[in-house]
Amino acid sequence: MEIGERIIHKAHELFMRYGIRSVSMDEIASQLGISKKTIYNSFKDKDAIVDGVLDIKMNKMKCDCSSMQKNSLNAVHESFLGLDIMEEVFAGFNPSFLFDLEKYHPKQFKKFTDHHNSYLYDTIKQNLEKGIAEGNYRQEMEVDIITKYRIGSMFLIFNMNYFPHGSYPLAKLGVEITDNFLHGLVTEQGRELINKYKLERKKQLL
Protein backbone atom coordinates (compact mmCIF):
# COMPACT_ATOMS: atom_id res chain seq x y z
CA MET A 1 0.00 0.00 0.00
CA GLU A 2 1.41 3.39 -1.02
CA ILE A 3 1.99 6.11 1.58
CA GLY A 4 -1.00 8.19 0.40
CA GLU A 5 -3.32 5.22 0.81
CA ARG A 6 -1.88 4.44 4.25
CA ILE A 7 -2.51 8.04 5.35
CA ILE A 8 -6.12 8.00 4.12
CA HIS A 9 -6.90 4.64 5.73
CA LYS A 10 -5.38 5.67 9.06
CA ALA A 11 -7.24 9.01 8.95
CA HIS A 12 -10.47 7.16 8.20
CA GLU A 13 -9.95 4.92 11.22
CA LEU A 14 -9.21 7.87 13.52
CA PHE A 15 -11.98 10.12 12.19
CA MET A 16 -14.59 7.38 12.64
CA ARG A 17 -13.44 6.77 16.20
CA TYR A 18 -12.84 10.31 17.45
CA GLY A 19 -14.43 12.70 14.95
CA ILE A 20 -12.52 14.92 12.55
CA ARG A 21 -11.70 18.03 14.56
CA SER A 22 -10.01 16.22 17.44
CA VAL A 23 -7.62 14.34 15.12
CA SER A 24 -4.63 16.48 14.16
CA MET A 25 -2.13 15.97 11.37
CA ASP A 26 0.44 15.31 14.11
CA GLU A 27 -1.73 12.48 15.46
CA ILE A 28 -2.09 10.87 12.04
CA ALA A 29 1.67 11.10 11.51
CA SER A 30 2.39 9.67 14.97
CA GLN A 31 0.01 6.75 14.44
CA LEU A 32 1.73 5.90 11.15
CA GLY A 33 5.25 6.46 12.44
CA ILE A 34 6.00 9.10 9.80
CA SER A 35 6.69 12.84 9.84
CA LYS A 36 4.03 15.46 9.33
CA LYS A 37 6.09 16.67 6.36
CA THR A 38 5.54 13.28 4.71
CA ILE A 39 1.79 13.80 4.99
CA TYR A 40 2.02 17.24 3.40
CA ASN A 41 4.01 15.76 0.52
CA SER A 42 0.88 13.76 -0.37
CA PHE A 43 -1.92 16.08 0.81
CA LYS A 44 -1.91 19.86 0.77
CA ASP A 45 -4.17 20.17 3.83
CA LYS A 46 -6.64 18.40 6.09
CA ASP A 47 -9.48 19.10 3.64
CA ALA A 48 -7.71 16.89 1.09
CA ILE A 49 -7.46 14.07 3.62
CA VAL A 50 -11.14 14.42 4.55
CA ASP A 51 -11.94 14.26 0.84
CA GLY A 52 -10.06 10.97 0.55
CA VAL A 53 -11.83 9.56 3.61
CA LEU A 54 -15.21 10.44 2.09
CA ASP A 55 -14.25 8.54 -1.06
CA ILE A 56 -13.69 5.43 1.10
CA LYS A 57 -17.09 5.85 2.75
CA MET A 58 -18.96 6.48 -0.50
CA ASN A 59 -17.32 3.53 -2.26
CA LYS A 60 -18.16 1.32 0.71
CA MET A 61 -21.78 2.46 0.53
CA LYS A 62 -21.96 1.56 -3.15
CA CYS A 63 -20.55 -1.91 -2.46
CA ASP A 64 -22.96 -2.44 0.44
CA CYS A 65 -26.00 -1.33 -1.56
CA SER A 66 -25.00 -3.51 -4.49
CA SER A 67 -24.59 -6.48 -2.14
CA MET A 68 -28.01 -5.87 -0.55
CA GLN A 69 -29.72 -5.76 -3.93
CA LYS A 70 -27.90 -8.85 -5.19
CA ASN A 71 -28.48 -11.01 -2.11
CA SER A 72 -32.02 -9.96 -1.14
CA LEU A 73 -35.03 -12.21 -1.68
CA ASN A 74 -37.42 -9.26 -1.90
CA ALA A 75 -37.66 -5.55 -1.04
CA VAL A 76 -38.44 -6.16 2.64
CA HIS A 77 -35.53 -8.59 2.97
CA GLU A 78 -33.26 -5.97 1.37
CA SER A 79 -34.15 -3.54 4.17
CA PHE A 80 -33.26 -6.14 6.79
CA LEU A 81 -29.91 -6.79 5.12
CA GLY A 82 -29.42 -3.03 5.35
CA LEU A 83 -29.94 -3.19 9.11
CA ASP A 84 -27.08 -5.68 9.43
CA ILE A 85 -24.78 -3.38 7.46
CA MET A 86 -25.92 -0.36 9.47
CA GLU A 87 -25.09 -2.05 12.78
CA GLU A 88 -21.63 -2.96 11.49
CA VAL A 89 -20.99 0.66 10.43
CA PHE A 90 -22.28 2.17 13.67
CA ALA A 91 -20.18 -0.16 15.82
CA GLY A 92 -17.13 2.03 15.17
CA PHE A 93 -18.71 5.36 14.31
CA ASN A 94 -18.51 8.61 16.28
CA PRO A 95 -21.54 10.86 15.53
CA SER A 96 -19.34 13.95 15.81
CA PHE A 97 -17.83 12.97 12.45
CA LEU A 98 -20.85 14.41 10.62
CA PHE A 99 -21.06 17.45 12.91
CA ASP A 100 -17.37 18.21 12.30
CA LEU A 101 -17.76 17.61 8.59
CA GLU A 102 -20.61 20.09 8.29
CA LYS A 103 -19.07 22.78 10.50
CA TYR A 104 -15.39 22.67 9.55
CA HIS A 105 -15.31 21.13 6.07
CA PRO A 106 -18.36 22.54 4.20
CA LYS A 107 -17.07 21.67 0.72
CA GLN A 108 -16.63 18.04 1.71
CA PHE A 109 -19.97 18.04 3.53
CA LYS A 110 -21.67 19.16 0.31
CA LYS A 111 -19.91 16.36 -1.55
CA PHE A 112 -21.20 13.90 1.06
CA THR A 113 -24.81 15.14 0.96
CA ASP A 114 -24.84 15.39 -2.85
CA HIS A 115 -23.78 11.75 -3.01
CA HIS A 116 -26.53 10.69 -0.62
CA ASN A 117 -29.13 12.74 -2.45
CA SER A 118 -28.25 11.04 -5.73
CA TYR A 119 -26.91 7.51 -5.22
CA LEU A 120 -28.83 6.81 -2.01
CA TYR A 121 -31.96 8.34 -3.54
CA ASP A 122 -31.74 5.96 -6.49
CA THR A 123 -31.15 2.94 -4.25
CA ILE A 124 -34.14 3.67 -2.01
CA LYS A 125 -36.36 4.50 -4.98
CA GLN A 126 -35.48 1.19 -6.63
CA ASN A 127 -36.33 -0.65 -3.40
CA LEU A 128 -39.72 1.07 -3.17
CA GLU A 129 -40.56 0.33 -6.80
CA LYS A 130 -39.47 -3.27 -6.34
CA GLY A 131 -41.64 -3.66 -3.25
CA ILE A 132 -44.67 -2.21 -5.02
CA ALA A 133 -44.20 -4.58 -7.98
CA GLU A 134 -43.94 -7.54 -5.58
CA GLY A 135 -47.10 -6.56 -3.74
CA ASN A 136 -45.16 -6.08 -0.51
CA TYR A 137 -45.48 -2.27 -0.46
CA ARG A 138 -48.62 -0.17 -0.89
CA GLN A 139 -49.44 0.70 -4.49
CA GLU A 140 -50.73 4.20 -3.76
CA MET A 141 -47.58 5.72 -2.24
CA GLU A 142 -45.88 8.70 -3.91
CA VAL A 143 -42.43 7.19 -4.45
CA ASP A 144 -40.47 10.45 -4.77
CA ILE A 145 -41.88 11.85 -1.50
CA ILE A 146 -41.34 8.63 0.45
CA THR A 147 -37.78 8.27 -0.91
CA LYS A 148 -36.86 11.76 0.31
CA TYR A 149 -38.61 11.12 3.62
CA ARG A 150 -36.53 7.97 4.10
CA ILE A 151 -33.27 9.81 3.47
CA GLY A 152 -34.28 12.47 6.00
CA SER A 153 -35.22 9.88 8.62
CA MET A 154 -31.89 8.08 8.21
CA PHE A 155 -29.97 11.24 9.11
CA LEU A 156 -32.32 12.27 11.90
CA ILE A 157 -30.44 10.01 14.30
CA PHE A 158 -27.40 12.29 14.00
CA ASN A 159 -29.38 15.40 14.97
CA MET A 160 -28.16 16.23 18.47
CA ASN A 161 -31.19 18.44 19.14
CA TYR A 162 -33.32 15.30 19.16
CA PHE A 163 -30.79 12.65 20.13
CA PRO A 164 -27.86 14.07 22.13
CA HIS A 165 -24.68 12.04 21.76
CA GLY A 166 -24.90 8.98 24.01
CA SER A 167 -28.64 9.21 24.71
CA TYR A 168 -29.26 6.04 22.68
CA PRO A 169 -26.98 3.65 20.79
CA LEU A 170 -26.96 4.64 17.11
CA ALA A 171 -27.84 1.11 16.05
CA LYS A 172 -30.94 1.11 18.28
CA LEU A 173 -32.11 4.40 16.77
CA GLY A 174 -31.55 3.05 13.27
CA VAL A 175 -33.49 -0.14 13.97
CA GLU A 176 -36.43 1.68 15.56
CA ILE A 177 -36.72 4.26 12.78
CA THR A 178 -36.39 1.60 10.06
CA ASP A 179 -39.03 -0.56 11.74
CA ASN A 180 -41.45 2.35 11.89
CA PHE A 181 -40.71 3.26 8.28
CA LEU A 182 -41.27 -0.29 7.00
CA HIS A 183 -44.58 -0.70 8.80
CA GLY A 184 -45.81 2.46 7.08
CA LEU A 185 -44.92 1.00 3.67
CA VAL A 186 -46.13 -2.54 3.67
CA THR A 187 -49.24 -4.42 2.65
CA GLU A 188 -50.45 -7.36 4.74
CA GLN A 189 -48.23 -9.58 2.63
CA GLY A 190 -45.28 -7.34 3.40
CA ARG A 191 -46.14 -7.28 7.10
CA GLU A 192 -45.89 -11.05 7.21
CA LEU A 193 -42.38 -10.75 5.78
CA ILE A 194 -41.42 -8.17 8.42
CA ASN A 195 -42.51 -10.55 11.17
CA LYS A 196 -40.66 -13.43 9.52
CA TYR A 197 -37.38 -11.55 9.17
CA LYS A 198 -37.66 -10.05 12.65
CA LEU A 199 -37.96 -13.54 14.10
CA GLU A 200 -35.01 -14.79 12.05
CA ARG A 201 -32.94 -11.80 13.11
CA LYS A 202 -33.83 -12.29 16.75
CA LYS A 203 -32.68 -15.91 16.59
CA GLN A 204 -29.39 -14.87 15.00
CA LEU A 205 -28.74 -12.34 17.77
CA LEU A 206 -29.34 -14.85 20.57
Among the listed residues 1, 33, 27, 3, the one whose alpha carbon sits nearest the alpha carbon of residue 14:
27
Whether the per-residue pLDDT at 202 is higher than 90: the answer is: no
Q: What are phi and psi of 187, to 5 degrees?
A: -85, 180
Please give the mean pLDDT across all residues of the chain: 94
Whether the per-residue pLDDT at 1 is higher than 80: the answer is: no
Whether the per-residue pLDDT at 205 is higher than 80: the answer is: no
Give residue 106's pLDDT.
96
Q: What counts of helices (H) and strands (E) characterise the chain?
A: 11, 0
Whether the per-residue pLDDT at 158 is higher than 90: the answer is: no
Among the listed residues 119, 2, 113, 118, the one whose alpha carbon sits nearest the alpha carbon of residue 54:
113
Give residue 8's pLDDT.
97
Average the pLDDT over 143-165 and give the result: 92
Percent of the chain scored above 70 by pLDDT? Answer: 100
| pLDDT classification of 23: cutoffs 50, 70, 90 | very high
Among the listed residues 174, 49, 36, 29, the one whose alpha carbon sits nearest the alpha carbon of residue 100:
49
- Set out the domains of the chain in order of their start, with CATH numbers: 51-205 (1.10.357.10)
Give residue 203's pLDDT.
87
Average the pLDDT over 23-52 and give the result: 96
Any long-range contacts for 58-62 (C-beta under 8 Å, 24+ apart)?
58/112, 58/115, 58/119, 61/115, 61/119, 61/120, 62/119
DSSP state of 137: B
| pLDDT classification of 116: cutoffs 50, 70, 90 | confident
Report the alpha-carbon distance of residue 156 to residue 170 in Å, rounded.
11
Report the alpha-carbon distance of residue 6 to residue 32 in Å, rounded.
8
How is 73-121 classified by DSSP, letter by letter?
A: SSHHHHHHHHHHHHHHHHTT--THHHHHHHHH-HHHHHHHHHHIIIIIH
